[in-house]
Amino acid sequence: MSNKVIVTAAVHPFLLATLEQKGFEICYEPTMSYDQLSLQISDAIGLIVTTRLKIDSKIIEAAKALKWIGRLGSGMELIDTELAESKGILCVSSPEGNCTAVGEHSLGLLLNLMHRIHQAYGEIKMGQWIRDENRGDELTGKKVGIIGFGHTGSAFAKVLTGFGVTILAHDIHPGALGFQQFPQAKMVQLETIQQEAEVISLHLPLTTLTKHFANTRFFEQLKQQPYFISTCRGGVTSNQALLEALQHQLIRGAGLDVLENERLDSYHQAEKTNLEALMALPNFILTPHIAGYSHEAYYKMSKILLEKLGVI
C-alpha cells in the first residue's frame, strides 16, 4: 500500500523531516503544476498545499487513495472541501500558525500610513526634507473596526492593546473565535463600524458572500474617513472601488498585503492602469502577500498542521 505524500509548496524543513521520520514517502515538488499534480495524485494518501494550486473536483476524483489534505495557513477557498469530505478525505488548515504574524503586519501597515513613514522616506530619497505635510495621526485612543473576528482578526486586536483603542468587531458568526479570545472587543453590526471606526481592517475569508465585500457602496457608507487595511484575500476588496475611495477622500489611506490578481505578469491594461494609479498615491502602500510569512510562522504552520493531521 502506498504511503506517498505530495508536498506542492516550499515548507519548513521540520515538516519534511517529521514526515520522513514517520515513514512517509515524500514527493516534494514546490513548483509542481496543476497538470503534474493531476497525474501524480492517484496513489497519494496525503497532500499538502498553499494557495498556489486549486484542488478542485478533477484533482479529488483522481485521488483514489487520498486520506487527507493539509493547507498551510488559513483559507480553504481553493479546495473543494465539500467533495473531499464526502469522500472521507480529512481537510485541515493551520491559521493558528501565522495569525500572530498577520496581526503584527497589519499594525505595521497601519502605523506606516498614520505616521507617513513610507511617504516621508520616499521624499527624502528625492532630496526633500518635508515636515509639516508629513504630520502624522496617533493611533492611541482611536476606534478600530475589525471585520472578520477569527484567528487573524483577534490577533490584530491583541497587538493593539497597548494603544488604548476601542475595538469594534463584526463577524457574521456571533460565536466567532475572536470574541472568546478577545472578550474586550465590542460586538457590533457592520453599520456601526462604518459610522464610527477611524481605522478599518479586513480579516475575511474569500467566499461567494465576501467577494468584493469592500465595494463602492461599502466605502460610500464610511463616515469618519478611516484608514483602511486588508491582509486577508485580495478578492474581498474591489481594487477599482478602493482607488475611487482614495481619490474621493472617503478613506484617509489604504494599506494592503493582497491584490485581486497577484500575478502581475498576467495583467491586462485595465489592471495595470488601476494598480499604477493606486501606487501613484502617497497614502497607499502595498506588500506582496507576506503578512503571514514570518520565519516563526513558517515553522508554526507546519507543526500545527502535522498535529491536526495526527502525524505528531
What is the pLDDT, as a whole number, of residue 162? Answer: 95
Per the domain annotation, does 302 fall within a domain? no
- What is the phi/psi pair of residue 296, to 5°? -65, -45
Annotation says 96 is catalytic: no
Q: Supply the pLDDT for residue 74.
A: 85
Q: Are residues 62 and 118 in the same domain?
A: no
Instruction: Kindly name the residue from 151, 233, 252, 260 that is annotated as catalytic.
Output: 233
Per-residue confidence (pLDDT) for residue 1, from 0 to 100 = 63
Query: How many other β-carbons are positioned within 10 Å of the β-carbon of residue 100?
Result: 20
pLDDT digits (tens, 9 = 90+) for 188-220: 999 999 999 999 999 999 999 999 999 999 999
Where the chain has pLDDT below 70, the residues are: 1
Q: Do 142 and 232 fall into the same domain?
A: yes
Q: Which helix (H) or strand (E) holds 27?
A: strand 25-28
Where are the alpha helices (H) located in 29-175, listed in sequence order?
34-40, 57-62, 81-86, 95-114, 117-125, 151-159
Please indicate whether residue 262 is annotated as part of the active site: yes
Question: For the chain, how many structural domains are there in total?
Answer: 2
42 with 107, same domain: the answer is no
65 shares its domain with 167: no
Structure confidence at residue 36 (pLDDT) = 96
Q: Which of 262, 276, 296, 307 is catalytic?
A: 262
Instruction: Please tell me the pTM assigned to this model.
Output: 0.93
Write the CATH number for 51. Answer: 3.40.50.720
* Residue 233 a catalytic site member: yes
Structural domain containing residue 246: 97-286
Co-location of 50 and 195 in the same domain: no
**Cβ atoms 95, 152 nearer than 8 A:** yes
